[in-house]
Amino acid sequence: MKKNKSIFNKEIIPLRSKIDHIDSQILSLLAQRQDQVGKVVKLKKKHHIPVYHPAREEDLISKLRVQAGKANLDPEFMEDLYRVILRQSRVKQTDQMEHKGVRPGARILIVGGGGQMGQFFSLLFLKSGYEVNILTQEDWGKAEQLCKGIDLCLISVPIERTESIIEQIAPFLESKTILADLTSIKDRPLEKMLKFHPGPVTGLHPLFGPTSGSLDKQIIVVTPGRKSNDCRWLTEQLTLWGAVIVESSAKEHDEIMEIVQALRHFATFSFGQFLYEKQAQIERTLEFSSPIYRLELGMVGRLFAQDSSLYSEIIFATKKRRGLLKDYIASLNNHLEMLGKNDKQLFIEKFDHIAKWFGPFGEQALRESTFLINKLIERF
């Protein structure tokens, strides 16, 4: 036995040395790749080209998957590896792009800039060479003075205060100043901005939290209002920082957000409330849980770990939203008879009908959720 172990140790040393050498080569190649990324950043800065190029990335991933198969490597492994590499590359590029302004020296006023989202954008503008001032409720007496000569007035206050703040700040703005807001409701704020400010107007909705740390691949919805050409530099700046811009009318935005935000958050709240009412043993259920249950429960826990007032504003924002949520509750009640009759066949019929309605998205959702589940397994 000792002899076999001795032979093993002798034979494995050169193999491990070879692996260590290959690892060193990999690190060297990654460093060389990073150096080339730096050159790409300089070129993108020069020509105001955005960091994220989805077609380029997907084309690269497709080619690498093919090459991996030919090299007898797992294409899934190769894709996972390069997704990490590309993500790191984008973040590095975005960080450097934060120091490039489309209109460096332009003056920005962020109303409500003391809040988390206001601070997030304030830092981005400052890094890119803009002059940034903050207006909070405490120093409203300086509002008229702070509005003089500004190029952009960005409203970043809670939903219920947005419209009144627009009315209060608009009289101090010059006709050339862009008035924009960061609210998750767009129709009424945009209407108010157009009514009270004769200059350029645009609505913005960042679909992420201020703790994200980067705009890399983060979605920002833009709802055009007035003089879109005058607002273009703002959109270009957001794109330069790595954001993905989705343009929409205010009406379409609000209708989609009823589903994407209000309904989703309310359904999550309802699930959490039911677990509370049943006094479910959360930690114990996790010991029995599949990865998909952990993922679902994680989203519930995530909701209740955050600010309740923020979600109340989103869910109760409009009468139309509240009506949609009533329809949702009524839809759930429609299943009571099916449960009461133990009608499995009716469930199957409904299930198959809805699956058909989802169509190809079902397969896409299966692939994406499987990816998330596998990542969860790797971590836990």
Predicted confidence (pLDDT) at residue 98 exceeds the cutoff of 60: no
Predicted TM-score of the model (pTM): 0.74
How far from the centroid of its chain's Cα atoms is residue 249's Cα? Answer: 20
What was the pLDDT predicted at 369?
Answer: 85
Structurally, the chain folds into a number of domains equal to 3
Question: How much is the average pLDDT of 31-50?
Answer: 78
**153 vs 70: which has the higher pLDDT:** 153
Domain boundary among 217, 248, 279: 248
Cα separation values, 279 from 267, 272, 295, 305, Å: 18, 10, 20, 18
- Same domain for 261 and 352, yes or no, is yes
Averaged confidence pLDDT in the chain: 89
CA angle centred on 122, ends 245 and 105, rounded to 5°: 90
In the structure, what pLDDT confidence band is assigned to residue 356 with cuts at 50, 70 and 90?
A: very high
Tens of pLDDT, residue by residue over 273-310, are: 999 999 999 999 988 888 888 889 999 999 999 889 88
- Check whether residue 119 and residue 227 sit in a common domain: yes
Higher-confidence residue of 211 and 274: namely: 274
**Residue span of the structural domain in which 328 resides:** 253-379
Same domain, 128 and 73: no
Helix H, strand E, coil C: the string for the chain is CHHHHHHHHHHHHHHHHHHHHHHHHHHHHHHHHHHHHHHHHHHHHHHCCCCCCHHHHHHHHHHHHHHHHHCCCCHHHHHHHHHHHHHHHHHHHHHHHCCCCCCCCCEEEEECCCCHHHHHHHHHHHHCCCEEEEECHHHHHHHHHHCCCCCEEEECCCHHHHHHHHHHHHHHCCCCCEEEECCCCCHHHHHHHHHHCCCCEEEEEECCCHHHCCCCCCEEEEEEEECHHHHHHHHHHHHHCCCEEEECCHHHHHHHHHHHHHHHHHHHHHHHHHHHHCCCCHHHHHHHCCHHHHHHHHHHHHHHCCCHHHHHHHHCCCHHHHHHHHHHHHHHHCCHHHHHCCCHHHHHHHHHHHHHHHCCHHHHHHHHHHHHHHHHHHHC
Same domain, yes or no: 272 and 211: no
Residues 122 and 148 in one domain: yes
Q: What is the pLDDT of residue 380?
A: 63
The mean pLDDT value for 215-242 works out to 92
Judge if 111 and 217 occupy the same domain: yes
Same domain, 300 and 270: yes
237 plus 320 within the same structural domain: no
What is the structure's pLDDT at 185? 93
pLDDT of residue 209: 81
The answer to whether the CB of 209 falls within 8 A of the CB of 342 is no
- Residue 68 and residue 32 in one domain: yes
d(CA 191, CA 176): 18
* Position 75 confidence tier, pLDDT thresholds 50, 70, 90: confident
Of the candidate ranges 32-46, 101-115, 182-196, 339-353, the one whose mean pLDDT is the lowest: 32-46
- Tens-digit pLDDT profile for residues 143-199: 999 999 999 999 999 989 999 999 999 999 999 999 999 999 999 999 999 999 999
Token digits for 373?
């589940």
Do both 220 and 257 map to the same domain? no
Of 75, 97, 119, at which residue does a domain stop?
Answer: 97
In a domain, 102, yes or no: no
Domain-embedded: residue 227: yes
Claim to verify: residue 124 and residue 244 sit in the same structural domain: yes
Q: Answer yes or no: do 129 and 227 share one domain.
A: yes
- Please name which of 123, 127, 242, 264 lies closest in space to residue 184, comparing C-alpha atoms: 264
